[in-house]
Amino acid sequence: MSSRLKLALAALAAGTLLASLTAVAMPAAAPTSAVAAASNSTADHSKFKALQQPFKTGPEVTKACLGCHTEAAKQVQHTKHWTWEFTDPKTGKKLGKRNIINNFCTSPISNEKDCMACHAGYGWKDSSFDFSVEANVDCMVCHDTTGTYRKLPGDAGHPVYQRREFPPGSGKFVEAVDLRKVAQSIGKTSRSTCGSCHFFGAGANGTKHGDLDAALQNPDKYLDVHMDRKGLNFTCATCHQTSGHQVAGSRYEMAAAVTGPAHMRGKADAEPASCQSCHGDRPHPAQLAKLNDHARKVACQTCHIPEYARDAIGTELSWDWSQATKMGADGKPVAAKDSAGRRAFDSKKGAWVWDSYVVPEYRWFNGEFAYKTLGDKIDPSATVEINHPGGSPAAADSRIWPLKIHRGKQAYDTENNILIVAHTAGEDDTALWHNYDWQKAIGTGMKAAGLPYSGKYGFVSTEMSWPITHMVAPKGDALACHQCHSENGRLQGVAGVYLPGRDRPRMLDMIGWTIVALSLGGSMMHGILCVLFRRCKRSKQA
Amino acid sequence: MSTERIYIYKRFERFWHWSQALLISVMMVTGFEVHGTYTLFGFGHAVQYHTLAAWTLLTLWAFTIVWQFTTDEWRQYLPTLKKVDAMIRYYAIGIFHHAEHPFRKSAEQKHNPLQRLAYLAFLSVMSPIIWGSGLLYLFYADWGAFGLDRHLSLEWVAFGHTVGAFMILSFFFVHVYMTTTGHTWYAHIKSMITGWEEA
């Protein structure tokens, strides 16, 4: 062997070693489990001719997807992810984001350009959006595996086509999405894709749900026993089993009291996204049978999610819109954060209260909320329940559920007594966040919503309930018996059930202890008299 | 000193008595914790110990009932009104001035007439109340299967159970006091331990 060849071989070996070391030291940037899941797919999308073109827009990618997945867009168009609407099968009432005025950002109407950053579609910028155009379905927002697909407020649901500063004036830049790369890396949904909207509801990480925030992208066992990245590593879809793009498990059609044994996978299943669908309704071992008995009255979540927002991100507990448009001392808009660095005030939006590790509030709940929707009359003299949890202690379909109750003050029409849709987002003259003028913002918003406006507005206290069902704690962190079975315990305010340790008839206690005291006192008195007389010993001689 | 001794309490009887005393004490302590009167073991443990003690006592009673009938000892609980007035007079007045106890224990008649009445009350009133309500409480989850949920509420079952508990607690205090009224304060207790009564 010539010395030159030896040298070449040695260099090759060294190079290989170096390359493998580098690979170990610098793992691929995307840590999501979806990448691994996609890798065992039978299709390598990067090899598909249709995906090897320089895509300029989202709809161009969708058209390429539909070339093979011919029914996908039609399926998506039948889901809430597309329509933002849900018709309550019992009442016929139209619900969903299009019809409900919540007490966070209130309503997407007239604010579509911003809000539709979380629509699974492209181009919903106002009421003229055509829901039948298949190319406007956004496949990538749910199926991206690269973690690079970004949709920003202002683009009506389109991804970032050009590098731009966001938030404006922040000095931070968002890169343009490489659509071809995203399209070629397409795969299953992941905690990251679902979370890109659901963790950020109401505009910021953790704001809305309380049991969903970005910590769930990569959670440990403490935060979620099922999603634990080193353990079961569930994705959202593990429980929210999807069929034909219909995602199971929704606040609008909840099963609050599932009974019976665990369900066989593959069988037609009305509610696969419940605890019971895997665990059954008597999940504890025989020696803990008493806990199983609780399942008739108590939702699993009540004990097994002892607190929500169990991380530093926290969640928003209240939003006071009546503080919006208040300016700083110099007359200019101001913003402030709380001691944990979470938003506390902004002249655009008002005042907030946030917290972490929040103890839920508990209510009887049968899975059905009675919603106030667009144009429904309210009673401004009392706190308005935007969604009232149905259910009662005696009903077989009701359980004691943990809720996050988000409280707020929001605008209403003081003459018509209806909640207001305000035009908040945008760069035009009537947008509240641009011009700080409620009258103009309300005028535009109510017109877009097709609602009457008297010209007079005020602020009313509202509350909105969110069932807590994620962030399931390891069993060691579940509630202990005494946390409910005690005075001033977790369930202090929950009526309609006799709770040993919390409830006892006061009159009986009074009479009972009196009799016990008389027995004990009488005996002692008798004994004292004996000792005093020193004659209590029975005389054997007598 | 007189050394006349009679053997009154047999071995099983003494074992039964003291096991029962321990179990009832455990149930009173844990029961009133479940009731919410105080915190000692923690609610969960209190329920666990209470339930365990209840099943243990039921088992003990099963053996005891057999024992009572096979030995004919059940007759000790037959009530009599004879000498009851004398007994009451003794504890109200006589005991303070060296009066003679109107009753003499024997292996055939272990209990004085007042005791017979008290134990009969325990068996026929307190026991059915506490066991009836206790078992219903224990099997609360199965009410539906027997159609009981339409007629019962946990609130009233717990009420009944608490009534029974107060009665037994009162009984307990008086009973323990009465054991100290022998010719020495420990005479009765000693005979329940050894079985021998010094007459």
Reported ipTM: 0.91
* Partner-chain contact B47 A502, CB within 8 Å: no
Cβ–Cβ under 8 Å, residues A245 and A343: no
Residue A362 lies in a domain: yes
pLDDT at A18: 44
Residue A432 lies in a domain: yes
Domain count, chain A: 2
Residue closest to A248 by CA, chosen among A234, A256, A237: A237
> Over 60: is that where the pLDDT of A20 sits?
no
* Residue A532 host element (H or E): helix A506-533
Could you tell me if A328 and A193 lie in one domain? no
- Listed as own residue / partner, the contacts of A424-432 with beta carbons closer than 8 Å and 24 or more positions apart are A424/A105, A424/A106, A424/A111, A424/A348, A424/A349, A425/A111, A425/A113, A425/A114, A425/A115, A425/A153, A425/A154, A426/A111, A426/A113, A426/A114, A432/A324, A432/A325, A432/A348
Residue A536 lies in a domain: no
With beta carbons under 8 A apart, name residues in chain B contacting A501.
Answer: 34-36, 43
**Average pLDDT of A421-444?**
96
What is the β-pairing status of strands A399-413 and A315-320?
A: parallel
Could you tell me if A55 and A197 lie in one domain? yes
Give the tens place of pLDDT for each residue, A505-531.
999 999 999 999 999 999 999 888 888
Could you tell me if A200 and A322 lie in one domain? no
> Over 50: is that where the pLDDT of A134 sits?
yes
**Average pLDDT of A266-281?**
81
Give the tens place of pLDDT for each residue, A474-490.
999 999 999 999 999 99
* Partner-chain contact A535 B98, CB within 8 Å: yes
Comparing CB atoms, the residue among B158, B159, B173 nearest residue A519 is B173
Residue closest to B118 by CA, chosen among B161, B179, B72, B159: B179
In A131-256, beta strands by DSSP E? 164-165, 173-174, 242-243, 246-247
Integer Cα distance of B140 and A163 in angstroms: 65
Residue A161 lies in a domain: yes
Answer with the one of A208, A237, A263 that is the final residue of a domain.
A208
Residue A438 lies in a domain: yes
Of all residues in chain A, the one with the smallest CA distance to B176 is A523
Q: What's the domain range around A468?
A: 315-483
Give the pLDDT band (50/70/90) at residue A17: very low
Q: What's the domain range around B61?
A: 34-69
Residue A459 β-bridge partners: A411
User: What is the overall mean pLDDT for chain A?
Assistant: 91
The phi, psi pair for A239, rounded to 5°, reads -95, -45
Distances B159 to A77, A184, A290, A330, B146 between C-alpha atoms, Å: 58, 69, 20, 67, 21
Among A516, A525, A529, A533, the strongest candidate for a mutation testing the B interface, having the largest count of B CBs within 10 A, is A516
Minimum mean pLDDT range among A395-399, A404-408, B60-64, B110-114: B110-114
Residue A232 lies in a domain: no
> Over 90: is that where the pLDDT of B45 sits?
yes
Cβ–Cβ under 8 Å, residues A141 and A196: yes
Answer with the one of A483, A499, A527 that is the final residue of a domain.
A483
Integer Cα distance of B100 and B87 in angstroms: 11
Could you tell me if A58 and A183 lie in one domain? yes
**C-alpha torsion A38→A43→A44→A49, nearest 10:** -140
> Over 70: is that where the pLDDT of A27 sits?
no
Residue B63 lies in a domain: yes
Integer Cα distance of A505 and A514 in angstroms: 14
> Over 60: is that where the pLDDT of A187 sits?
yes
Cβ–Cβ under 8 Å, residues B35 and A508: no
Distances B3 to A109, A540, B10, B102, B197 between C-alpha atoms, Å: 102, 12, 20, 20, 10
Both tokens of A161, joined, read 């086509």
Residue B194 lies in a domain: no
* Partner-chain contact B174 A539, CB within 8 Å: no
pLDDT at A532: 81
Residue A278 lies in a domain: no
Give the orientation angle of helix B11-34 with respect to helix B187-194, to 10 degrees: 120
Residue in this structure with the two tokens 């007189």, named with its chain if needed: B2
Comparing CB atoms, the residue among B39, B44, B177 nearest residue A523 is B177
DSSP letters along A58-100, please?
HHHHHHHHHHH-TTHHHHHTTSHHHH--EE-TTT--EESTTTB
Answer with the one of A208, A230, A260 that is the final residue of a domain.
A208
- B75-114 residues touching A, CB cutoff 8 A: 91, 95-101
Among A282, A287, A485, A499, the strongest candidate for a mutation testing the B interface, having the largest count of B CBs within 10 A, is A485
Domain count, chain B: 1
Could you tell me if A200 and A331 lie in one domain? no
Could you tell me if A359 and A476 lie in one domain? yes
With beta carbons under 8 A apart, name residues in chain B contacting A296.
Answer: 141
* Partner-chain contact B98 A524, CB within 8 Å: no
Residue B54 lies in a domain: yes
Map residue A351 onto helix, strand or coil.
strand
Minimal CA separation from B70 to chain A, in Å:
34
Residue A296 lies in a domain: no
With beta carbons under 8 A apart, name residues in chain B contacting A291.
Answer: none
* Residue A432 host element (H or E): helix A432-435
Of all residues in chain B, the one with the smallest CA distance to A513 is B166
